[in-house]
Structures are given as structure tokens and as C-alpha cells.
Amino acid sequence: MFIVENYFMAVIFCIITMFCWGSWANTQKLASKTWSFQLYYWDYAIGVVLFSLLMGLTLGSNGELGRAFIEDLQQATTYSLGSAFLGGVIFNLANLLIVAAIDIAGMAVAFPVGIGIALVLGVLINYFAVPIGDPWLLFLGVFLVAVAIILDALAYQGLSSGKRRTPNKGIILSIAGGLLMGFFYRFVAASMSLDFAYPEIGLMTPYGAVFVFSMGLLVSNFIWNTIFMYRPFSGNAVSYLDYIREGNIRLHGIGLLGGVIWCLGMSLNILASEKAGYAISYGLGQGATMIAAIWGVFIWKEFAGAPLKSHRFIKWMFICFALGLALIISSRI
């Protein structure tokens, strides 16, 4: 199977992850004008599963190192399968909360708050589980990211002062989603061997782990997303009949594309984790916060008309994120 050979390649993969995880939600924005996020999310979940399967059957099944995809799944223990599956269940609820927050508060706010919290918590959890990297540089980088989250919240206060819609619900959903999302990666990491080239018997390679994770996401969707469909935090309730009746090729394609983009980022991030370490790999990937904020500010114009003070906070938010990510990268060099 294909594996990452050095730290430089691992960093490149994590940067690609950053762009994937920070950009997939744009597909939700494209579909949201005529398609509720709950219905969009079904196609997103299917897209994640299909792409993880494609990765497993191609890159995960070729080459001399590692273990072939199908064989990897067959030899995995119940613990390994269950851990990756549970990671998908936890991620799915966390992601639905953040997607709901995007629907209420906008991309420039929901992503920095929710994913920023997930970054801080996830780095701490994964570092203490597998301590790789200079803790001083790593935690200083995480601290700067936390400062950036606070600056984003302050910027949004100025933005929301003239809006008709209160931001409280969106911020609360972002925080709840971020807290949950800080835990999912550890369960996926626990299902994998630390050595990808010569994987330990019973544990999985990245390709098997990501596929089982994606199945946890899809199966749990019948619970979590059904609740969101019939008891939405905002807007009208939708049904499974609406998915069949209102969907078209374009809308389904947008949702599938969103899942493919996110899963590409997840696959590359997991592949990078052997050389970078779980904490650094996860932390760099969740730099998606900055990418999402760029989309929200410059493309979707979510801060148009905001007071000068809000724009200053946004500027310093980007600076703190950039410095924090640079320190996270340096912690492994």
C-alpha cells in the first residue's frame, strides 16, 4: 500500500488536509439555498464512504509495504473495528452540530469556534496518548490558535450587533460540536498500528481505519441526522420523502462532492500521522479553521458592513493562526 515516507511529505499532506477540511462546507453553502443541510448531509455521508472505499481499493491495495485493504479488514480485531467505528459515530454528531451552526451563524464564525476548540482539545488528547514532538513549541502553537478563536468571537460580536438574528444558538452549537470533535481522532488512531509499513496483527492500516470510520459515520446518520431532520435547531422539519422528492442530480452531486473533499483530507491526514505524530497531524489538519474563515470573509462576504474593530480582530486572528500553525510544524523538526 502507499505510505508517507518522510516528515516533509507528511506536512504537505496535512496542508492539503487543511484546505480540504476548510473548504468542503462551501458545498453546503452552494446547496443551502434550495436544499436543507440535513438532506445535503445524507449525500455528504455517502460521499465519505464511497471515497474511503475507493482509496482502500486503489492506494490501499497496491505496493509491497503494509497490508492489502481487504486483508486488513478481515484480520482486524473487534476492538480495532469498534474503535474506528466509534470514532465515526462521535465525529458525525460533532460535525452535524457544526454544520447546523454554519446554517445559523455563518461559516466565518461556526468553523473558527467549533473547529478551533476541536484543534486545541484534540492536540492535547492525542499528544498525551502518543507524545511526539517538542511540547513547548506544540502547546505554544495551540495557545496562539486559542487566542485566534477568541479574536474571532470578538469580531463576531461587532458583526452581530446590527443583525436581526441572535448568534447565541449558533455559537452554542459550535462549542458543543467542537468539544465532541476533539475526541473522535483518538479513537481512529487507537484502531491503527503505529508502524504502517509492517502493521501489527489485529490493528488496522490507515485505509482500513478510515473506511470503518466512514461506516460509523453513515450508520450513525440514521440516528443523529434523523433527529436533526425532524427536530431541527432552525428552519422547518424535513423528511425522507423530501430527500426523494426534492433532490436532483445537481444537489446530490454537490453533497457527494462535499463528502469526497472531506474524506480526501481525512485519508491524507491519517497517512501523515505515522511520520508527523497524531497530535501534530491532527493539529495541522484543523488549521482548516483559517481556510474556512478566509472563505467566509473574502468569498461569502459574511463580514461585509462590519465595524472597523471587527476587521481588526479578523486581521489579528489570521496572524495568530498562521503563527500557531508554524509553531506546530516546527515542533517536529
Decide: 286 and 197 in contact? Cβ < 8 Å.
no
Beta bridge pairs of residue 204: 192
* Percent helix, strand and coil across the chain, each to the nearest 5: 75, 0, 20
pLDDT digits (tens, 9 = 90+) for 218-235: 999 999 999 999 999 878
Residue 293 above 80 pLDDT?
Answer: no
CA distance 58 to 41: 26
Cβ neighbors of 244 (< 8 A, separation 6 or more) are none
Q: How confident is the model at residue 44 (pLDDT cuts 50, 70, 90)?
A: very high
Neighbouring C-beta atoms of residue 300, cutoff 10 Å = 14
- Residue 166's pLDDT is what? 43
CA distance 122 to 109: 19
Q: For helices 249-276 and 278-285, what crossing angle results, to 10°?
A: 150
- Residue 164's pLDDT is what? 47
- Residue 159's pLDDT is what? 64
Decide: 273 and 189 in contact? Cβ < 8 Å.
yes
Decide: 282 and 126 in contact? Cβ < 8 Å.
yes
Residue 91 above 50 pLDDT?
Answer: yes
CA distance 129 to 105: 34
> Strand, coil or helix: what is 131?
coil
Q: How confident is the model at residue 290 (pLDDT cuts 50, 70, 90)?
A: confident
Between 297 and 156, whose confidence is greater?
Answer: 297
Domain ranges of the chain: 7-330
Lowest-confidence region among 1-10, 23-32, 74-83: 23-32
The length of the chain in residues reads 333
- Residue 292's pLDDT is what? 75
Decide: 205 and 60 in contact? Cβ < 8 Å.
yes
pTM: 0.91
- Residue 260's pLDDT is what? 98
CA distance 305 to 291: 21
Neighbouring C-beta atoms of residue 261, cutoff 10 Å = 23
Between 64 and 113, whose confidence is greater?
Answer: 64
Lowest-confidence region among 94-98, 169-173, 328-332: 169-173
Decide: 180 and 54 in contact? Cβ < 8 Å.
no
> Strand, coil or helix: what is 20?
helix
CA distance 321 to 290: 7
